[in-house]
Amino acid sequence: MLKPLLFATALAAMTCATVAVAEIVTSGKEDVPIAEVPAEVLAVARAAGPDLEFEAAEREVRDGRVYWDIEGEGPDGQETEFDITQVDGQWAVVETQRDITLTEVPAPVAAALSEAAADFEPGRIIESLQADGLVIYEFFGAADATLKHEVSWDGMTAAWLEEEWAH
């Protein structure tokens, strides 16, 4: 009987955990025409989203690393953005983002948001799949889009983030 109780206690503690991330130093995003995106970066985006028509790109330097945000639209009209940077000397997708509705948010994630920010009404919601499988849900305020909250989701545990996620 003790093992299930210990597991339940540990799981409850993880559910309420806060993940802190150091402040991000950024150059700011710069729009870049798709035709000017390096071929090797665009090849990575095309491999990750072969059915997407790529329309927009941004370049940014974050904490000394170059990131490319490559946005495309699928045949169904769904927009997807790939965040691409070098990992071990190779360009790789480190984050895949798409807009979703509140009904698509996993129930534990919605509960974590509601518990931590009871009066917050989300407008835009971005589902951000990290390369390691973790999902970060970004909630922007309906009345004030500069208000933003994030919740991480590993498929079992939702965690309220006190600071912005690094990718």
**Residue whose tokens read 């025409």:** 33
pLDDT at 62: 87
Q: How confident is the model at residue 25 (pLDDT cuts 50, 70, 90)?
A: confident
Cα–Cα dist 69/83, whole Å: 5
User: pLDDT-derived band of residue 28, with 50, 70 and 90 as boundaries?
Assistant: confident
Q: What is the pLDDT of residue 55?
A: 92
How far is C-alpha 102 from the chain's CA centre?
15
Could you tell me the strand order of the sheet in which 79-87 lies?
30-32, 53-62, 65-73, 79-87, 90-100, 122-130, 135-141, 148-153, 158-161
Q: Assign 24 a pLDDT band (cuts: 50, 70, 90).
A: low
| Pairing mode, strands 79-87 and 65-73 | antiparallel
Q: What is the reported pLDDT for 78?
A: 95
The predicted pLDDT at position 166 comes to: 78
pLDDT confidence bin for 9, thresholds 50/70/90: very low
Strand partners, 125: 100, 139
The residues spanned by each domain of the chain are 26-95, 101-167
Confidence of residue 23 (pLDDT cuts 50, 70, 90): low
**pLDDT 10s digits, 109-155:** 999 999 999 999 999 999 999 999 999 999 999 999 999 999 999 99
Question: Mean of the per-residue pLDDT values for the chain?
Answer: 87
pLDDT of 77 > 70? The answer is yes
Report the alpha-carbon distance of residue 102 to residue 110 in Å, rounded: 8
Q: Given this model, what pLDDT does residue 146 score? A: 92
pTM of the predicted protein model: 0.79
